[in-house]
Chain A
């Protein structure tokens, strides 16, 4: 059985699954339930200086697919609304009760050196394994000059990270980044310049989750009004994968450890982030939708995957997909795929035909057959191998994309004869 232990910023964790700083890690009761259930660590819900913030009622909105599954949650909750002292004493207690589990203290403060340092020291003194700077909250706190208001300015990212580093000495420092920025490398480089051990990303995506068409206000509606909030859950996973990959494969940031966050719902998501270079993972929305027991299959599924591939430890495949994550200009222009439809598996729904006909390359014909059904056939000359048919087909493995053996060499756009050099 594979070893799920992982190492990030010098911290050894029994498994890579930590609960992210959020409602599930708001207090001792929840955190101890999570540890009892098997989670490797938590990032405690973000702490600020007293007096604590006051939260509103109605805090979540959701985005659903047509089968009523929840694709993402948007929240407008602020940081911990409990007194700082209560949180600190509970952290101490949980550290004693679960000595083998990781607790990271998340914090935020206005952009004043003394405030950051005072709070960081208070949290460090509880015995946490590290400090995470919350520079990403895109709602409420940013209106007070904190959260994403800091995370969107590289200089402030660097300064706050540096202040915490100076305050806590050797204790691991995680800088949590906001995705609400044009280029994730800029704040990542700033975190590195501020001497962070690791970056944690992504924080939530700024969003309006929907509009109540009766009230004519954004969801969730509070007394007739709504506001933008932070979007998370499986819908944001692709955004997070990209940002993690950019940091992992970029020369100026690749030495940062990465605590990956963003829609991790199952073991496959976890493996994908690890393959793109994540050292450890943070989960929130999936637990908020199903409870802490999802850790069982996160652990079991990841372990089973690793066993199947012969990976004995996380490091055996960590970053394995980085080298294959390239710029568009490095792709092989001579690679040629054609769709193939398995007529035995086809249930004749016609989806591949109509999407290709209406929106792509008119490369799948539909013809009535002798048994009263319809035959769907790929026209190779018109098929550009785009994969659309494969994705809309409801039957597993009915449509496959087959690489054509054309004996042509690997040829990139910069080398391509049609490249005029203008663009």
Chain B
């Protein structure tokens, strides 16, 4: 349906069709003509700034040239050889702060090449062909690696390892693979079950099995995995929602924003989801925006996003903030919740205005209230570290060396559970990819040693 939401024609609740339209592709795919026009704009820069800006360093000028020359499969192979989840990244990456931000046409024409949309064009084409998986596996090494977590980091790592000829066994705590790709991204960015389709494609390389509903600490221990496998990769993400730590947090209607998004992503019928009448979102990142915009698109009367600092400090990009604004989300900066009031269920949020004072954020003592029957907190996630016995951590993240190895030899980690960069799918894929190289080197060295 595009960036603008569909509103009710009657003033009543949104119809099923209106909601469906609101959850159609945020950015419809390029048709062949649009792709040709965009591809022909690319200057084929040398040592291109867009490539440097991509955490997975996709050879962007090359894949765009391949679109321009009508070599769509080759284009997709170029993308996927650097980023096996190029399809999700094409949909969900904040390209406005990555590749497209660095496109030299920002200077030349004040309008970058639509790199993300072109990437989707090529990858979607390849995936729609139902052909043999584009990558072959090397000769079998006889090594088996355990991967904990079937999110972007774990699966990217698994794919690279499978390519090298290793066997990979993935353990996933949930019922489906994909991690945040499956549960955490806004629905209109991942339409038509794209996360599941992409993973089916990824697994087409062979040599990877996924066992579901096996969680570290509950069903598995690091010690036994280390004993049984030649190497272990931890890609568990950040599973523990941060608490608001204010009174009333346990009232009905107060939820973690990711849980709300998960409900939307897993719903068979979006019309059955009640987003609430008056929704307050706490937080300033892309998850806060995803929750706010989806609440509005489900038909919430009012959605207010409360962030304790200003627009410049928000984790959400300028583009995401603008998306919230054109979807009717009220952005309330420089305020923080101090108390939630309700009788069983929340009905009021007490807030305090904030300000920077000597570079420290402080409450001003000025209080006000918002009516709310739903409060979604999106103030970040933390590492569940109960089963990581012995692995060194810093600032709530697992410490790894340049090969992705933790303080325990043979145990590697990547994705949101390490401190590598932005908490983006594309960074998780890069972590998985580079750590796979580290694991491969570790195993081959061990072989010869």
A-side residues, CB < 8 A to B, are 66-68, 347-351, 353-354, 366, 373-374, 394-395
Contacts and interface: CB of A to CB of B under 8 A. Distances in A.
Contacts of B37: 67-68
Interface in B97-127: 104-105, 107-108
Contacts of B43: 349, 351, 394
Contact of A351 (B36, B39, B46): B46
B68 A350 contact: no
27 contacts: A66-B39, A66-B40, A66-B68, A66-B69, A67-B37, A68-B36, A68-B37, A347-B105, A347-B107, A347-B108, A348-B45, A348-B104, A348-B107, A349-B48, A349-B104, A349-B108, A350-B48, A351-B43, A351-B44, A351-B45, A351-B46, A353-B46, A354-B47, A366-B47, A374-B47, A394-B43, A394-B108
Contacts of B36: 68
Interface in B20-79: 36-37, 39-40, 43-49, 68-69
B47 A350 contact: yes
Main secondary structure of the interface of A (DSSP, over half): loop
A-B interface, 3 closest residue pairs, ranked by CB to CB distance from nearest:
A350-B46, A354-B46, A67-B40
A332 B266 CA distance: 76
Contacts of A366: 46-47
A348 B47 CA distance: 10
Contacts of A373: 49
Contacts of A374: 47
Interface of B: 36-37, 39-40, 43-49, 68-69, 104-105, 107-108
Nearest to B69: A66
Nearest to B52: A372
A349 B47 CA distance: 8
Nearest to A395: B108
Contacts of B44: 351
Nearest to B33: A68
Contacts of B40: 66-68
A347 B104 contact: yes
A276 B409 CA distance: 78
Contacts of A347: 104-105, 107-108
A67 B113 CA distance: 14
Nearest to A394: B43
Nearest to B39: A66
A347 B36 CA distance: 23
Contacts of B39: 66
B113 to A, nearest CB: 12
Contacts of A349: 43, 45-46, 48, 104, 108
A388 to B, nearest CB: 14
Contacts of B68: 66
A66 B64 CA distance: 12
A354 B61 CA distance: 14
Nearest to B68: A66
A238 B334 CA distance: 65
Contacts of A68: 36-37, 40
Contacts of B69: 66
A351 B65 CA distance: 14
Given A347-B108, A348-B104, 8 more contacts: A66-B69, A347-B104, A349-B46, A351-B43, A351-B46, A353-B46, A354-B46, A366-B47
A352 to B, nearest CB: 9
Contacts of B45: 348-351
A63 B228 CA distance: 62
A69 to B, nearest CB: 9
Nearest to B44: A351
Contacts of B47: 350, 354, 366, 374
Contacts of A394: 43, 108
A197 B187 CA distance: 75
